[in-house]
Amino acid sequence: MSEEGRDNPARRVVDGRFELEARLGGGGMGTVWRATDLVLRRSVAIKEVRPSDPGLAEYDPEAARLLRERVLREARALARVDHPNVVTIHHIVDGGPGTYPWIVMELVTGGSLADRLARGPMNPAEAARVGREVLAALRAAHAAGIEHRDVKPANVLLRPDGRPVLTDFGIAAVREATALTATGSVIGTPDYMAPERVSGKDGGPAADLWSLAMMLYVAVEGHHPLRRGTTLATLAAVLAEDVPPPVQAGPLTDVLSRVLVRDPGARPDARQLDRMLAEAAGQPQRTESPTSFPLQPPAAPPRDTVPVPAAPPAGRRRWTLLVLPTAGVALAGALVWTQLPDTGTHANGAKGSGTTSATASAPGDATGSPTSGSRATTTDLLTPQGIRTAIAAFKKETGRDRYASLTVYPEYVVANLMVKGDDAAYDMYTYRPGQGVRKDIISGHVSGDDKPVTLDGYDWDKVPSLLTEAGRKLKVPDPDTRYLVLILPGNAFGDPAGMSVYLSNDHSQTGYLQTDKKGKTVKLMPYDG
């Protein structure tokens, strides 16, 4: 930024040319501004990249260097894709090593697809038209050797005429730039990441098509089918659960059912997907190249058709989550996943590992008691004895008793246990019956004002009654997933130490109740649909 901009906050001018006028949005990686190009006298958008921690360059210069390279890669990726559905880059301001660049782009003034969906779902034909144009942008990017890797409603901007424009190529995988993508980091939005990318694999163009289809599912259904109450639960659902058949998708039903399958090789390719979207939108199929893309006028919404459930892909394997994203200072934390064979039964009806040592809740019974005439075959850890067994196993294996987190599922328990003598660092462990305690690869640090706790004073005997209360009061239709989360004192919401019990179903309809350490309910958040 020029000295003029620094001295006069009301008049911030970047590179002596771009005058910042209003903040358009931002997040942990920086801010996007509306600005005026003082040379060409036109409005532009300018992306200011700044790490959330201003001291990053001083204490972690390598992370700062990677951040700068990521920004430059975004600019180069955008510059390589000339397409009407991809945001145009005009200029880059780069002060050299030790600085963070600014990216100057075209200003798209119609808001984002996320803004549009906040007003309500789309009809299937409208969604198919938007999807087809975003697909055209992806095809142009893929042809240039670029995978977007973060397709989601917030990254699709809308022109005043409604044409979608794909933006935010900040985590794009450029074919030649393998150095930045081979570090073990997985960056993206969990809700829209394809299973293969969540598992740590490269994914390829087919993973972008999954993200596009998931975005269209949300657009027509009005909810995300795999979103759960925590990041851990959402990622586990992406890996382990089938996407429920849509009920509002009409002519898009076949598109969503065929793309949202776990085997990338079973998904239609981009050309096939374009034909399917054209049919769903009531549009003629294209004969021109994917970089020539006329805007089609809106068509009348077709009548809904009866949805056809998608058949599960053959040879489906279960993906088991081993670690959560670690708290990062500027770059996203690493995720490490492993693929395990299908064995046993999962609490939500999907298969998973387990041992035959106790009676558990029957599928769909949120109370914690077996349904009459039904007996499950796996240990239920979401019981007083199950929780105590896991805690004792963690103590025996690690010698640690201070927790940064504890999440209890019927089949396994995940804990972040504090490193001895350290008030910030933790290691992650998973306990499974029959397998014992296993240390996961990634460690992390407690974020914000969270204060690690011992589990003294937690009344686990209240868990069955809490599950019963949850089943009665949370109003979640046909719940098939249940879990308990430890609440740390001093968190961002000012909550006291306690625990939360969550219920959700195949349609991501979720409710939870929150208690103190003694199991007394202090907050009730039922599903409000």
pLDDT for 240-269, tens place per residue? 888 999 999 999 999 999 999 989 999 999
pLDDT at 492 over 80: no
SS3 string of 255-295? HHHHHCCCCHHHCCCHHHHHHHHHHHHCCCCCCCCCCCCCC
CA distance between the termini of the chain: 48
pLDDT for 135-180, tens place per residue? 999 999 898 888 888 899 989 999 887 889 998 876 555 444 433 3
Cα–Cα distance, 487 to 520 (Å, whole number): 13
**Confidence at 188, pLDDT banded by 50, 70, 90:** low
Per the residue annotation, which of 60, 150, 191, 506 is the catalytic one? 150
Highest mean pLDDT range out of 190-194, 447-451, 503-507? 190-194
If 0-12 CB within 10 Å is exposed, 13-18 middle and 19+ buried, where does residue 59 land?
exposed
Q: How many residues does the chain have?
A: 529
Highest mean pLDDT range out of 119-123, 437-441, 504-508? 119-123
Model pLDDT, residue 389: 96
**Confidence at 494, pLDDT banded by 50, 70, 90:** low
Local structure of residue 99 (DSSP, 8 states): S
Highest mean pLDDT range out of 261-275, 293-307, 315-329? 261-275
Across the chain, mean pLDDT equals: 74
DSSP letters, 159-203, are -TTS-EEE---TT-EETT-GGGTSSSB--S-GGG--HHHHTT---
In three-state secondary structure terms, 402 is coil
| Mean local confidence (pLDDT), 86-93 | 87
Chain centroid, CA 344 distance in Å? 27
Q: Which residue has the higher pLDDT, 365 or 512?
A: 512
**150 included as an active-site residue:** yes
Cα–Cα distance, 33 to 468 (Å, whole number): 50
Cα–Cα distance, 198 to 319 (Å, whole number): 10
Model pLDDT, residue 399: 95
Which amino acid is located at 97 in the chain? P
pLDDT for 475-487, tens place per residue? 888 888 888 988 8
Find out whether 262 and 310 touch, Cβ atoms under 8 Å.
no
Model pLDDT, residue 49: 73
Model pLDDT, residue 348: 33
DSSP letters, 71-82, are HHHHHHHHHH--
Nearest by Cα to 216 from 276, 300, 145: 276
Q: Give the range among 5-14, 40-49, 54-63, 189-198 with minimum mean pLDDT.
A: 5-14
Domains of the chain with bracketed CATH: 1-107 (3.30.200.20), 109-295+312-317 (1.10.510.10), 343-525 (no CATH)
Cα–Cα distance, 462 to 517 (Å, whole number): 10
Query: In this structure, what are the phi and psi dihedrals at residue 137, rounded to the nearest 5 degrees?
Result: -65, -45
pLDDT at 378 over 70: no
Cα–Cα distance, 368 to 197 (Å, whole number): 34
Cα–Cα distance, 237 to 481 (Å, whole number): 10
Q: What is the pTM of this model?
A: 0.53
Q: Give the range among 70-79, 141-150, 207-216, 383-392 with minimum mean pLDDT.
A: 70-79
Provide the b/e sequence for 451-481 (b: ≥16 CB within 10 Å).
ebbebeebebebbbebbebbbeebebeebbb
In three-state secondary structure terms, 388 is helix
Model pLDDT, residue 255: 96
